[in-house]
Amino acid sequence: MDFSDRHVVVTGGAGALGSAVVAALLEAGATCHVPCFDEAEAQRFTLRQHKRVTLTVAGNLADEAAVGRAYQGIAPLWASIHIAGGFAFGPLRQAGFAIIRQQIDMNLLSCMLCCRAALNAMTAGGRIVNIAARPALEWRTGAGMAAYTASKAGVAALTAALAEEVVKDGILVNAVAPSIMDTQANRAAMPKADYALWPKVEEVAATILFLASPDNRVTRGAIVPVYGKS
């Protein structure tokens, strides 16, 4: 897949999955734009010194002004990959309003605002890839994390609806739905799990890369399961 001379935004690019996606994009020749929440996150990003990486300290991507800063001056934009989000576990009856609102803002609202900004920066077609989650497709597996599940199901619905809306403009919109991925944070949270069953971030990144690439000419509106063996 050749991303030479193509500009790609990767939200959440400083995280485990995001870093794998940015690394793969750079290897394929892309110029990557990575919005960070704050300066500390920008400093943690291991690829920040790469000549084809532009970091922006944008702030909270659930805020319209922050999204404007993240996408300012990027034209023409080829692809926008929306990995930024958050997770909250616990029964809904114990969830405070702040947690519920946080899940909606971090996962659904930020994705929707970034999709809108990306569409306005794409002048000659392009690709959008969102990040849903396994519970977004298999709702009953979201027991104990209902707010998260609902917000990610919203991302899946947004993806399918938007794909129909913009296909006439040459823009293909898709999403991936990972299960629990093999990251240091997840291993620490679940030390007794069988990590061999979890998909690696590089494997999930490979699927994202295809959906965002010029090689993807026909796939749109898909919510692609990336579960590994789990």
* No. of helices (H) and no. of strands (E), the chain: 9, 7
Side chain identity at residue 112, one-letter code: M
Phi first, then psi: what are they for 212, rounded to 5°? Answer: -90, -5
Q: Helix 201-212 vs helix 16-27: angle between axes, to the nearest 10 degrees?
A: 50
**Prior bond of 76 cis (ω within 30°):** yes
Marked catalytic residue, from 71, 148, 195, 227:
148
Annotated catalytic, 71?
no
Please choose, from the candidates 177, 188, 185, 182, the residue with its C-alpha nearest in 3D space to the C-alpha of residue 200: 182
Phi first, then psi: what are they for 151, rounded to 5°? Answer: -65, -40
Token digits of residue 10: 């990767």
Residue 99 CB neighbours (<10 A): 16
Please choose, from the candidates 53, 31, 52, the residue with its C-alpha nearest in 3D space to the C-alpha of residue 42: 53
The Cα 13–Cα 81 span in angstroms is 9
DSSP conformation class of 35: E
Q: Is 179 helix (H, G, I), strand (E, B) or coil?
A: coil
Q: Which residues are catalytic?
A: 148
